[in-house]
Amino acid sequence: MPADPKNSKPKKSTAEAGIPGAFEGETVTRRRFMTGTAHGAGAVAVTAFTLPALAIGVAPVFEKHDQPWQALGPPEDFDDKSYVAKTFTATAGIGEVGKSTVYVRKYNEQIDSEQRDEYNAYIAISTRCMHLGCPVRYVAASELFICPCHGGAYDKEGKVSDGPPVRPLDRFYTRVQDGLVEIGPRFSLNSEMRRFSPRDPGQPIDGLGQYIYPARPTVRKLPGT
Amino acid sequence: MPKLKLPLPPGLKPPPERPSENGHGEDRSALKQAGVSAVDWIDERTALSGGARWLMFRKIPRGTNWFYTLGSATLFAFLSQTITGVFLAMYYDPNATRAYESIRHLTNEVFLGEFVRGMHKWGSTVMVILIFLHMGRTFFFGAYKYPREMNWVIGVALLILTLFMSFTGYLLPFDQRSYWATIVGVAINGTGPLVGPYLSDFMRAGPEFGATTLPRFYSIHMLLLPGLIVSLIAAHLYLVARQGTTAPPWLRADKDPDLRRDET
């Protein structure tokens, strides 16, 4: 603008700029208005199909999944010395793929450092290794949970005794209902056996870890535990 | 020489003939004539020959050698993955309860099924290796420097997308190895601070491996990523054609004789 002294002030309206057929008080040329409208309509159309499509892709991140209580067997199946492996449905609707294994025993004061409460009359330990998620198995001879992938090992309480895992094995809430032992939702533990909302393998939750790896909207521990 | 206009460099072109002249092509078969006129018909309406010549008859620097074919090799590996993948998709069932059975059927019972699946499986490894060789060529020849930085960036994006392809494709056979490798891979992704846990939920479509995880991986593998890769390859090739290739670093640029005289 300063380069052209005759046109130093920008025109406020089309009438001022001398455009033929200008309306009173019109500030945008009709060509400019039509261009803007066409581009705007295109942007609205693209947004109208892109946003809902993205939404159905991202929605599962915000949907809460409730793990229903499911029966594992009568209390006589379990003792407080060693673990019994039981199969349960971790994900419904996908047949064999959704099945998983849980190791269960009775609460034992000599083994368990945590306080007894309504959800741990039976200790149900998840087989998901807390290094990267391979399935651990309990070896009765050495009293260790051992992971086949990278050599993670856990003691009888599920605490890390060797290898790369970052926290104790996850557990499930348990209760006895209608004469059957049932397991409910999964929860995670830090190294002091405090309960946390379930985290994925590889995420330490001691100290800052619980904030660096926050709980997700999809799974929560039971309130008040 | 046929009258075909497209792929001939200027030196090889026959002198132009007038279309109205009758004398041309007495030795030409009618079939050849038909082909040429079909191409002419298209070119008259699309003017593609200019673009085709621009793309194909570029000047290349002295010293161009076999290392310069690695990019094309990668492109052909991608084409092979595309073609085999399209036909594998005709047999595949992305359902957690039926995926393994559909792969077993394809491998054991479909004519050449095992061969085509093998090409897709091993071809993916070949493609990743070729990308790294191509990247190494670009790096050691200094071909990423001005004005080609943007093509390097596009190339890195293509590398990352290809690794995403490998990751999502690994789940699809849905055997024990696929399943557990994906569990581990998603867990590794989850160790990213702050966003990792949410990204893992996004990849699995939930807190656990569920009914929609496999279709999600399948859709990303065969629709989303190939679309992105094809468009980025187009941009990559456009920039190669526009900027030309670099001479190998061991060749010095020819100096203008006048300049050389000035130096002495």
Q: Are residues A31 and A121 both part of a single domain?
A: no
What pLDDT is stored for residue A1 in this prediction?
43
Q: Is residue A225 part of a domain?
A: no
Best interface-test mutation with A: which of B201, B202, B213, B223 has the largest number of A CBs within 10 A? B201
Rounded to an integer, the average pLDDT of A37-62 is 97
The pLDDT, as a whole number, for residue A21 is 82
Cross-chain residue pair A132–B188, CB shorter than 8 Å:
yes
A127 found inside a domain: yes
Same domain? For A199 and A132 the reply is yes
- Asked if A212's CB is within 8 angstroms of B208's CB, the reply is no
pLDDT tens digits, residue range B25-80? Answer: 455 678 888 989 999 999 999 999 999 999 999 988 888 999 999 999 999 999 99
pLDDT of residue B254 exceeding 90, the answer is: no
Structural domains in chain B, CATH included, are 1-14+27-46 (no CATH), 68-243 (1.20.810.10)
Please state the rounded mean pLDDT for residues A2-26. 73
Listed residues A38, A60, A82: the one ending a domain: A60
Q: Is B42 left (phi over 0), alpha (psi -120 to 50) or beta?
A: alpha
User: Is A140 part of any domain?
Assistant: yes
A135 and A78 in one domain? yes
Please check whether residues A114 and A94 belong to one and the same domain.
yes
Do residues A87 and A173 share a domain? yes
Q: Tell me what pLDDT residue B158 has.
A: 98
pLDDT (tens digit per residue) in B76-115: 999 999 999 999 999 999 999 999 999 999 999 999 999 9
Of A61, A93, A202, the CB nearest to B198: A61
Please give the mean pLDDT across all residues of chain A.
91
Check A200 against B187: CB less than 8 A apart: yes
Q: Chain B contacts of A91, Cβ < 8 Å? A: 208-211
Answer yes or no: is pLDDT of A2 > 90: no
Task: Answer yes or no: is A17 within a domain.
Answer: yes
pLDDT for the residue B242: 95
Q: Is residue A182 domain-shared with residue A87, that is, in the same domain?
A: yes
- B207 with A198: Cβ contact below 8 A: yes
Closest residue on chain A to B97 (Cα)? A94
B101/chain A closest Cα distance in angstroms: 13
Taking 50 as the threshold, does the pLDDT of residue A19 lie above it?
yes
Long-range contacts, stretch B3-8, CB < 8 angstroms, 24+ apart: B3/B36, B3/B40, B4/B36, B4/B39, B5/B39, B5/B40, B5/B43, B5/B49, B6/B39, B6/B43, B6/B48, B6/B49, B6/B52, B6/B53, B7/B52, B7/B53, B7/B56, B7/B57
Residues A97 and A146 in one domain: yes
Residues A26 and A128 both lie in one domain: no
Judged against a pLDDT cut of 50, whether residue B246 lies above it is answered with yes
The alpha carbon of residue B129 is apart from the nearest alpha carbon of chain A, in Å, by 26
Residue pair B213/B24 in contact (Cβ under 8 Å)? The answer is no
Contact between A163 and A153 (Cβ < 8 Å): yes
Do A25 and A95 lie in one domain? The reply is no
Pair (A98, A35) in one structural domain: no
Of A119, A67, A107, give the one whose Cα is nearest residue A225: A119
Which range of residues forms the domain containing residue A9? 5-60
The alpha helices in chain A, defined as continuous H runs, are: 30-58, 209-212
Global ipTM: 0.88
Residues on chain A touching B190 (C-beta within 8 angstroms): 200-203, 213
Name the least confident of A51-55, A107-111, B221-225: A107-111
Q: Across all residues in chain B, what is the average pLDDT?
A: 90
Inter-chain CB proximity B209 and A97 less than 8 Å = yes
Which of B184, B196, B205 has its CB closest to that of A60? Answer: B205
pLDDT in tens, A172-204: 999 999 999 999 999 999 999 999 999 999 999
Report yes or no on A41 lying in a domain.
yes
Return the SS3 of A122: strand
Domain boundary among A30, A60, A90: A60
Contact of B180 with chain A, judged by CB distance below 8 Å, is answered with: yes
Q: Do A97 and B188 touch (CB under 8 A)?
A: no
Does A118 fall in a domain? yes
- Asked if B99 is an interface residue toward chain A (Cβ–Cβ < 8 A), one would say no
> Do A200 and A102 fall into the same domain?
yes
The CATH code of the domain that includes A184 is: 2.102.10.10
Query: In this predicted model, which residue has the larger pLDDT, A223 or B243?
Result: B243
pLDDT digits (tens, 9 = 90+) for B22-33: 555 455 678 888
pLDDT of residue B259: 63
In chain B, which residue's Cα lies nearest the Cα of A200?
Answer: B187
Question: Which backbone phi and psi does B158 adopt, to 5 degrees?
Answer: -65, -40
Between A117 and A46, the higher pLDDT residue = A46
User: Do A102 and A11 belong together in one domain?
Assistant: no
Q: What kind and span of H or E run contains A106?
A: strand A99-106
Please state the rounded mean pLDDT for residues A128-151.
Answer: 95
Of B4-18, B157-171, B181-195, the range with the lowest mean pLDDT is: B4-18
Contact B196 A213 (CB under 8 A): yes
Is residue A219 in some structural domain? no
Return the number of other C-beta atoms located less than 10 Å from residue A88's C-beta. Answer: 18
The total number of structural domains in chain A stands at: 2
